[in-house]
Amino acid sequence: MIDMNEPLLSIHDLQVHFHTEDGTVEALDGVSMDVGRDEVLGVIGESGCGKSVTALSTMGLLQSPPAEIVGGTIEYEGRNLLDLSRKEMDQIRGNEIAMIYQDPMTSLNPVLTVGSQLTEPLLTHTDQSEAEARERAVEMLDACGLADPARLMEQYPSELSGGMRQRIVIAMALVTEPQLLIADEPTTALDVTIQAQIMDLLRDLQDRFEMSVLFISHDLGVVSDIADRVAVMYAGTVAEHCSVADLFDNPLHPYSRALAESIPSLDTTTERLPTIEGVVPDLHEPPSGCRFSSRCPQYIGEVCDAHDPELTPCGENHEVSCHLYTDVSEATPPWPVSDPSVNGANEVPTEENP
């Protein structure tokens, strides 16, 4: 029997390496995050931090070689997806777990009609007849806000606009009513107006179908508009895992704080937004300690260089991977920090105190 209190998806200590001619890239180093039932988890971070690798690992779509999952588990409804056979995974992928990709033209076959691509998941995963599948596909196109869906069924992707193609990709992902939807930066290739429409559509569909969503983006504004909780990723690790409200009101990890400070404000008095000094570490030879230590404004010395911080509970449903909140060193302040001035911990950035 399924425990409804358990998360629908639980990723624990996921480690993924890419073996290349230049050496091994440690793309993911102990990534852990949960997606609850009927919940939207936002995953944010800059390009190359491991967001898409996490999604593709969950879908079982990493190309091996060069990719290799060297450790960890990905549990969906209590089953470790990494232990399933290819046939078992094929039954889940596109049926119980579906994915929306960044560019709709890479998801749609240019030589097949919209109808044939929408009915394929139904004909593969259900016992519906072709007529029933087509009827269901038309209903899904209509639910995604597309006019004259019966006509669209006979058209090819190249005949449609970018916004229409993205709506069709969403319809294709949801036509089997999956329990988990993975959306990998679904609005990146669209203009601002269409982005807003797609986000409204995703919110409406998530509510209508009561599904869980793993929403990946590099845009804090977009994530704040749809997610319940957020996992902040940096260089293949999870820096912070908390509610959207906590991320904006009380970001604890120095990297999360830097991201929050970089959001433009209409009433800002500064000419330039703050930047993070330094560069992302080379994942061919990642640092032995915290991967953010070389750029961290709250660097506290040897402990940051020598020890890789683990996700540490910091209050209710709030985890941070930072030595400001661990007990590795006596120099580390305890949680909670009663004096916000200690190493700047718990200090919410303001205009007067950036």
**Number of Cβ atoms within 10 Å of the Cβ of 318:** 18
Question: Quick one: what percent of the chain has pLDDT higher than 90?
Answer: 66
H-type alpha helices, 175-230: 192-209, 220-226
Q: Are strands 97-100 and 180-184 parallel, antiparallel or unpaired?
A: parallel
Domain boundary among 227, 242, 270: 227
Q: Verify that 109 and 207 share a domain, yes or no.
A: yes
Q: Are residues 151 and 185 in the same domain?
A: yes
Q: Percentage of the chain surpassing pLDDT 70? A: 89
Residue 302 — very low, low, confident or very high, per pLDDT cuts 50/70/90? Answer: confident
Three-class DSSP category at 344: helix
Residues 6+ apart with CB under 8 A from 106: none
* Same-domain status, 157 and 277: no
> Are 19 and 154 found together in one domain?
yes
Q: Looking at the domain assignment, is residue 236 inside a domain?
A: no
Examine the domain organization and report whether 59 and 183 are in the same domain. Answer: yes
Q: Per the domain annotation, does 352 fall within a domain?
A: no
pLDDT the model gives residue 328: 58
My answer on whether 222 and 254 are in the same domain is no
Query: What's the pTM value of the predicted model, to 2 decimals?
Result: 0.87
Residue 95, domain member (yes or no):
yes
The whole-number pLDDT of residue 290 equals 93
Q: Could you tell me the residue range of the domain that residue 258 belongs to? A: 250-344
Number of domains in the chain: 2
> Is 332's pLDDT higher than 60?
no
Give the separation between CA 168 and CA 76, rounded to whole angstroms. Answer: 26
Closest CA to 18 of 44, 50, 51: 50
Q: What is the CATH number of the domain that holds 90?
A: 3.40.50.300
Does one domain contain both 24 and 86? yes
Q: Let me know if residue 237 belongs to a domain.
A: no
**pLDDT tens-place string over residues 186-218:** 887 778 888 889 899 999 999 999 999 999 998
Asked if residue 210 and residue 68 are part of one domain, the reply reads yes
d(CA 6, CA 10): 9
Question: Across the strands, what pairs with 106?
Answer: none
Could you give the count of Cα atoms lying within 13 Å of 149 in the half-sphere of its Cβ? 18
* Greater model confidence, 163 or 348: 163
Any domain includes 234: no
In this structure, are 129 and 268 located in the same domain?
Answer: no
**In the predicted structure, residue 273 carries a pLDDT above the cut 80:** no
Q: Of 174, 192, 227, which closes a domain?
A: 227
pLDDT at site 3: 56
Contacts of 330 (CB under 8 A, 6+ apart): none
Sorting pLDDT into bands at 50, 70 and 90, what band is 151?
very high
Task: Taking each helix axis as running N to C, give the angle between helix 130-143 and helix 162-174, from 0 to 180 degrees, rounded to the nearest 10.
Answer: 130
The model's confidence at residue 270, banded by pLDDT at 50, 70 and 90, is low
For residue range 303-313, what is the model confidence (pLDDT) as tens digits? 899 888 989 99
**Does residue 26 surpass a pLDDT of 70?**
yes
Do 200 and 325 fall into the same domain?
Answer: no
Q: Identify the burial level of 141 via C-beta atoms within 10 angstroms of its C-beta, where 0-12 means exposed, 13-18 middle and 19 or more buried.
A: buried
Note whether 40 and 111 are same-domain residues.
yes
**294 and 149 fall within a common domain:** no
Quote the CA–CA distance of 119 and 126 in Å, as a whole number.
10
